[in-house]
Amino acid sequence: MSNALHYKSNVRDLYFNLFEVSDIANGVLGHGAFASLDEETARQVLSEVDKLARTEIAASFFEADRDPLRQGPDGSVLLPASLKKSLKAYYDAGFGGLELPEHMGGIGAPPSLIWAAFELIAGANPSVAFYLFGTFIAKIIDRLGTAEQKARFLKAHVDQCWGGSMVLTEPDAGSDVGAGRAKARHVEGDLWEIEGTKRFITNGDFDYPANIIHLVLARPEGADVGTKGLSLFIVPKIWVEADGRLGEPNGVRVSKLEKKMGIKASSTCELVFGEDRPARGLLMGNVHDGIRQMFHVIENARMAVGMKSMATLSTAYLNALDYAKVRVQGADLPEAANKRAPRVRIIEHPDVKRMLMSCKAHAEGMRALAFFTAHIQDQVELLGGHGDARADELDKLNDLLLPLVKGWNSDRGYDQLGIALQIIGGSGYIQDYPFEQYIRDQKIDSLYEGTTHIQALDLIFRKIARDGGQTLQGLAQRVQASVQAEEGGETLAEERKLLGKALADLNGMLMALLGKLGESPYHVGFQGNRVLLALADVVVAWLLLRHAAIAAGKLPGAKASDKPFYTGKVASARWWCRNVLPGVTLARKMVEASDLGLMDMPEEAW
């Protein structure tokens, strides 16, 4: 196993999700905003991104972790040379335009193709993936900015590959965004001056791009308290004149570079606005609609975090698999008492097979969930976005799925990474192998962009309750229809039966929680995470069974090179239904038995 090139991609499963399950070649590519793309081009693009990820991007993974970020005399953040080399390779290859629409000079790729490329980059080096965020910030300005703001920023932003950050969190507010105290004072027109301190800002500063555009939430003087009083401001690191030329440094200073457990190569900063000089910013769209505008960024970030967790688990599994195939240790279990029995590779041991299948099925399930969601996003864009009734319905489904992609992928991903490390034993604990860094780099995923419990509260109180559970019911009907349609035939008959039972238990769990809400919302506080995880377990079971049905149908006529892949798809679904879905029954019982005893426990007893 090479430290320099640790990353093992799973392009075969990526293509399976895109072209065999979602069938984007026929339903997405060549249509609407994606009319200029076809399957051959999409495959070629992903093949090139994959090659870059496994080489130039992966090359800085270890080195940048061990060669820490530094601050220069002026407080600016200095990246290690290896990281700059990876970023240069990405932009030199022309991939900066992958996620841009054609009118911005990009190739007009659909969300599913954009997220596929993101998986490859994030799996190879998540810090590099984060530094590419500036392109998305340009898309937000294009979507929400005034004509003057677009003319002012976008050409230079895109041509020069500027960086970007989303600036929400404050030291005293944390996840309670509405408690933010950063102030905005109106100067004239759409020009404002920002004052305050923001914390934990990814890409808060780094010395690769010529400029960084911060999207900052601040409260105009006299505005309401809470999130509704916040407005969104475009605040460049270097001031941008009306004609697009760069001016003087703006009043944004890095007061602290966070020292972190993982993703050490990602610049996480505390930023002070308006301390030494005015921090000038433009009101986004010249309207006071900050939290709604910022949610376009937040939702993208949450999807990215879920994709990152999946990508990390996927490469960890494949690294563990390779190790298990060559590591010889111990006799075959029936011969364990025979001291003269030949030693076998650890992949032949039942416990290692169990752990490998857990990692394999979870990695494939996370990818299935992420790309099912990405394909929903494809369809929303094809329908022209909001305003179309079908697009609005699909957008609600996307909203429902995002807490699962972010919350479930990140939560389960951490557990499974521990299993991947366990597979290779003590070797996994040392830095000769990538597992300890995978775990350090991934743990943040369940913490930022809304913790797992924040995702659960969002799921229950906003996404489910918003329309009286209709969107959730629609998703459940899809699952039930697959069960009744007998997808996969006799091959998956038992698995469909187990899925039907889990779906019934999930419904019973939700009904039990709804009843307990009449007693106290504290029940959601205790059981919300359990509900989110159980819902995702069921949805993933459904998706894996759909994948297995496709694979089973193709197995008889498959090429010899494809048969192992399709066989593995059926095995993953079977294992999931037998080993994960029984947990939904237990989760239902736990919710039904929920009580509020902990709320009455005196603090002194803790």
Contacts for 434-440: CB closer than 8 Å, 24+ residues apart: 434/1, 434/3, 434/6, 434/61, 434/62, 434/315, 434/316, 434/319, 435/316, 435/319, 435/320, 437/61, 437/62, 437/65, 437/262, 438/312, 438/315, 438/316, 439/262, 439/414, 440/261, 440/262, 440/263
d(CA 119, CA 131): 14
CB neighbours of residue 423 within 10 Å? 26
Locate tokens 């790729």: which residue? 109
Output phi, psi for 373, to 5 deg: -65, -45
Known catalytic residue at 487 = no
Query: Mapping DSSP to helix (H, G, I), strand (E, B) and coil, where does residue 214 land?
Result: strand
Nearest CA among 68, 66, 54, 207 for reference residue 125: 54
Q: Which residues pair with 531 in a beta bridge?
A: none
Q: Which residues pair with 212 in a beta bridge?
A: 163
Burial status of residue 411 (CB atoms within 10 A of its CB: 0-12, 13-18, 19 or more):
buried
Which DSSP string corresponds to 258-327? ---SS-TTS-EEEEEESSSS-EEEEEGGGSS-HHHHHHHHHHHHHHHHHHHHHHHHHHHHHHHHHHHHH-
Output phi, psi for 94, to 5 deg: 85, 10
d(CA 8, CA 370): 19
CB 52 within 8 A of CB 117: no
Could you tell me which residues come within 8 angstroms of residue 38 by beta carbon, excluding any fewer than 6 positions away? Answer: 25, 29, 30
CA 248 vs. chain centroid, Å, equals: 36
Q: C-alpha distances in angstroms, 330 versus 352, 427, 428? A: 12, 16, 18
Nearest CA among 274, 265, 122 for reference residue 206: 265
Could you tell me which residues come within 8 angstroms of residue 389 by beta carbon, excluding any fewer than 6 positions away? Answer: none
Question: What are the structure tokens assigned to 405, written together?
Answer: 């992609």
Sign of CA dihedral 533, 437, 428, 310: positive
Which residue in the list 364, 449, 487, 495 is annotated as catalytic? 449
Give the strand pairing for 212-220 and 163-167. Answer: parallel
Q: C-alpha distances in angstroms, 559 versus 10, 18, 22, 566? A: 19, 19, 21, 10
Question: What are the structure tokens assigned to 507, written together?
Answer: 């419904």
CB 128 within 8 A of CB 88: no
Total residue count of the chain as it appears in this document: 606
d(CA 196, CA 272): 6
Alpha carbon distance, N-terminus to C-terminus of the chain: 46
Sign of CA dihedral 197, 443, 441, 412: negative
Positions marked active-site: 449
